[in-house]
Structure 1
């Protein structure tokens, strides 16, 4: 099988504190399947898409419970597709995860969808990454202004970083579906064209 031009790791959201087992059928995981499927369908063999799973549903403070599973998923992609750029797509808690995984030099592109950025998570992203954050103006679970601040800081550091505000958009991305998904597909297309 021919190597892809880009590997894509999709990281679903979760919650602040919970030891409930993560399930592939919980809403946060299911919310990301349309992204995974549309990226694979649009770009075919040029990409390989993998959607991560975690052991539990919560971040759980300093335990950062999903991080070992997310890092393992990234490491597996790196081993499978040596020297292939990796794009990360994460929603909510998954947006926090992609910022932290963004320290890895093989990560070329980061798409953060309504990210739950805490404690300047974005500062971990390496200087060579391209970053796009999309956030709904009416999100009450995560903070669009903090996301915009993070992008401004990344841009000031010299990164190719952009912020898109979704007018009247909420956290679940169930509004303006064409915008959320269209921008995600454009983002992956731009990553392939670099």
Structure 2
């Protein structure tokens, strides 16, 4: 099961728009990843946020992500879930990745902050993709969080994707390919793509 977490805003108690760009972007992205994974049995679900924003210590999307995971498990107790989160959704995925049925998370241009803890990710498998030129969220902070998570005992891989910005529109095929590779590895318990976060940035590998 691929559970998709769209982006949002730092602060907003408004409900997300039904057809907002954040949701549409991730639906297209998730469909492309599913096609590339090549597993007809892989299904996709989406976290539906109550509020559009993270909203400081309330961290509303985290509770929504955990509720979505538990709802899936209630219907299929043996389900294995990969979280696929973009921007704010990536931050929520990191916070909720300790749910027992979550086998790992793939983070796309995630919003990471120094205050975000990583100890709960011990034993989890995480792949982070970020364009160093992203002007909305910080690739430097993403790599720093990935390093903290690795030191806390997570199996983390970090990849610089040198185009696409925050919206991942330019070079979208590269983003889809790398995300699909990561999802496949997480579901199959195979080697993760990319390099440890404290290794020199390898850039985008051809293929």
Same fold (TM over 0.5): yes
Deviation, structure 1 residue 115? 0.6
Pairwise CA distance, 1:125: 4.1
Call closer, same or farther: CA 1:134–1:20 in 2, change over 3 Å: same
Distance across 2 between alignment mates of 1:73 and 1:20:
19
Pairing partner for 2:15 from 18, 21, 37:
21
Aligned residue pairs total 188
TM-score, length basis structure 2: 0.83
Following TM superposition, where does structure 1 have runs of at least 4 consecutive aligned residues deviating by more than 3 angstroms? 39-45
For 2:32 and 2:108, locate their aligned partners in 1 and report how far apart those are by CA, in whole Å: 16
- Picking from 178, 184, 190, the partner of 2:185 is 190
Q: CA RMSD in A?
A: 1.8
Range that drifts further, 48-57 or 86-95: 48-57
Contact map agreement 2:34 2:180 (CA 8 A) in 1 = no
**Secondary structure of residue in 2 paired with 1:10:** strand
Aligned to 1:60: 55
Equivalent residue of 2:134, what SS?
coil
Where does residue 87 of structure 1 map in the other structure? Answer: 82
Normalising by the residue count of structure 1, what TM-score does the alignment of the two structures yield? 0.88
Distance between the aligned counterparts of 2:83 and 2:50, measured in 1? 19
Q: Deviations over 1:65-110 (max 9, x none)?
A: 2233222111111222213321101000001100110121221111
Where does structure 2 lack aligned partners over 5 or more consecutive residues?
A: 190-207
